[in-house]
Structure 1
Amino acid sequence: MTSRHVSQVIECSPETLYEFAVDPSNLPKWAAGLASAEVVREGDTLLVDSPMGRVTVRFTARNDLGVLDHDVTLPSGEKVNNPVRVLAHPEGCEIVFTVRQLDLSDEEFERDTRTVAEDLERLKTLLTPTVSG
Structure 2
Amino acid sequence: MPEMRSRHLSVVMPVSASEVYAFAADPENLPHWAAGLASGVRRNGDELVVASPMGEVVVRFAPPNQYGILDHEVTLPDGTVVANPLRIIDHPDGSEAVFTIRQRDLTDAQFENDCAAVERDLAALRAAVTDRV
**TM-score greater than 0.5 by the shorter chain:** yes
**Correspondence for 2:5:** 2
Return the offset for 1:44. Answer: 2.8
Identity of aligned residues (%): 55
Partner of 1:96: 98
SS in 2 for 1:103: coil
Contact 1:60–1:68 (8 Å) recurs in 2: yes
Shift of 1:129: 4.9
Runs of 4+ in 1 over 4 A off after TM superposition: none
Measured against aligned partners, the alpha-carbon deviations of 1:95-118 in whole angstroms (never above 9, x if no partner) come to 000000000000000000000000
Secondary structure of the equivalent of 2:112? helix
For structure 2, the 5+ residue unaligned runs are: none
Aligned residue number for residue 64 of structure 2: 62
Pick from 46, 49, 64: which aligns with 1:47? Answer: 49
C-alpha deviation, 1:128, in angstroms: 1.4
- TM-score, normalised to structure 2, is 0.94
Partners of 1:19 and 1:2 lie apart in 2 by: 30
Name the structure 1 match of 2:86.
84
Count of aligned pairs between the two proteins: 130
In the TM superposition, residue 36 of structure 1 has moved relative to its aligned partner by 1.3
TM-score by length of 1: 0.94
Work out which of the residue numbers 27, 30, 33 in structure 1 matches 2:33. 30
Any conservation in 2 of the 1:11–1:129 contact (CA below 8 Å)? no
Q: CA RMSD in A?
A: 1.3
